[in-house]
């Protein structure tokens, strides 16, 4: 018996590191997965890797019509939607006074309005069936901030309170909503950060209490927990999975034991 037997899920941003790992984990636990992404080539690779219980569908999450079509496809193919994992991400950067407004809007369109589109598409179905889990990828940057990262930080912070609002509004209809707040995960987006050349992987790893980065599979394990009955009393939460990154403000200079 798998922990997701008989369930159907939609994952956006599914061909990225976290999305791919989660789709694989869900299928291994018995779920049928509609994997939505704008990268059709990676989507085909993912389907070949995971197998027949996952279906790739092209989807731009900034378009509510496309998102609704993906959710409707899940319901049409599988008779229900038990989980929607809003995971698509992108970002631009720059200091606030110099931000490109089009880039700022694009970041919010993917990482804040995109999850809203997913929620609006999935909620009517979940309310009708009396159950459902909405999971969204926020970030430790939804709880803290860094210089030259306002679009990402703003979108991820807003997503946490949007999720809390959904939890309040729909909890009595059997629908739960939670955010995952990863720290530094070994994904292509992290590789882009390293490519800027201002910080090394070793420096980033040393910031966390565990002294390492996070694997996409570890985020997938949390997404599995939040999508299953094991988390049936958990809603409206921003669940941090960062290896202890947010725990320390070292003003003394005393190093940890190693």
CATH number of the domain within which 115 lies: 3.40.50.720
Considering just the CA atoms, what is the radius of gyration of the chain in Å? Answer: 18
Question: For residue range 24-67, what is the model confidence (pLDDT) as tens digits?
Answer: 999 999 999 999 999 999 999 999 999 879 999 999 999 999 99
Domain count, the chain: 1
**Is residue 249, in this structure, part of any structural domain at all?**
no
Altogether, the residues listed in the chain come to a count of: 258
What is the DSSP pairing of strand 238-241 with strand 54-58?
unpaired
Question: For residue range 66-101, what is the model confidence (pLDDT) as tens digits?
Answer: 999 999 999 999 999 999 999 999 988 899 999 999
Q: Which residues are catalytic?
A: 152
Q: Which domain holds residue 115?
A: 8-182+216-241
Q: Which two tokens stand for residue 54?
A: 């996952």
How many angstroms separate the most distant Cα atoms in the chain? 58
pTM: 0.96
**Is residue 170, in this structure, part of any structural domain at all?**
yes
**Is residue 138, in this structure, part of any structural domain at all?**
yes
* Helix/strand/coil (H/E/C) assignment for every residue in 181-245: EECCECCHHHHHHHHHCCCCHHHHHHHCCCCCCECHHHHHHHHHHHHCHHHCCCCCCEEEECCCH
**Is residue 194, in this structure, part of any structural domain at all?**
no
Question: For residue range 16-30, what is the model confidence (pLDDT) as tens digits?
Answer: 899 999 999 999 999
* Residue keyed to tokens 């970002």: 91
Question: 222 falls in which pLDDT band (50, 70, 90)?
Answer: very high
Q: Which two tokens stand for residue 150?
A: 């306002």
Residue 8, φ and ψ in degrees, nearest 5: -125, 135
**Is residue 51, in this structure, part of any structural domain at all?**
yes
3-state secondary structure of 134: strand
**Is residue 230, in this structure, part of any structural domain at all?**
yes
Residue 190: what pLDDT?
84
Torsion of CA 138, 101, 150, 107, to 10 degrees: 20
Helix (H) or strand (E) holding 14, with range, is none
**Is residue 231, in this structure, part of any structural domain at all?**
yes
Between CA 92 and CA 237 the distance in angstroms is 26
Question: For residue range 142-180, what is the model confidence (pLDDT) as tens digits?
Answer: 999 999 999 999 999 999 999 999 999 999 999 999 999
**Is residue 89, in this structure, part of any structural domain at all?**
yes
Residue 248: what pLDDT?
85
Residue 143: what pLDDT?
97
10 - beta bridge partners? 34, 84
């Amino acid at each position: 018996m798998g922990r997701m037997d008989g369930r159907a899920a939609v994952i956006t941003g599914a061909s990225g590191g976290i999305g791919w790992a989660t789709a694989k984990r869900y299928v291994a636990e018995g779920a049928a997965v509609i994997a939505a992404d704008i990268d059709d080539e990676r989507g085909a690779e993912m389907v070949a890797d995971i197998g027949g219980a996952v279906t790739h569908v092209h989807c731009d999450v900034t378009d509510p019509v496309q998102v609704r079509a993906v959710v409707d496809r899940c319901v049409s193919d599988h008779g229900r939607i038990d989980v929607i994992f809003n995971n698509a991400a992108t970002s631009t950067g720059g200091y606030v006074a110099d931000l490109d407004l089009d880039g700022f809007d694009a970041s919010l369109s993917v990482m804040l309005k995109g999850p809203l589109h997913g929620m609006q598409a999935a909620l009517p179905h979940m309310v009708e069936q009396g159950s459902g889990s909405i999971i969204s990828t926020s970030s430790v940057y939804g709880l803290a901030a860094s210089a030259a990262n306002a679009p990402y930080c703003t979108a991820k912070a807003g997503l946490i309170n949007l999720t809390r609002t959904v939890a309040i509004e729909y909890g009595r209809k059997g629908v739960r909503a939670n955010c995952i707040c990863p720290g530094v995960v070994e994904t292509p987006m992290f590789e882009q950060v390293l490519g800027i050349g201002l910080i090394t992987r070793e420096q980033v790893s040393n910031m966390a209490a565990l002294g390492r980065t996070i694997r996409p599979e570890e985020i997938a394990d949390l997404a599995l927990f939040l999508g299953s009955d094991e988390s049936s009393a958990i809603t409206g939460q921003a669940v941090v999975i960062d290896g202890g990154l947010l725990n320390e403000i070292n003003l003394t200079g005393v190093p940890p034991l190693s």
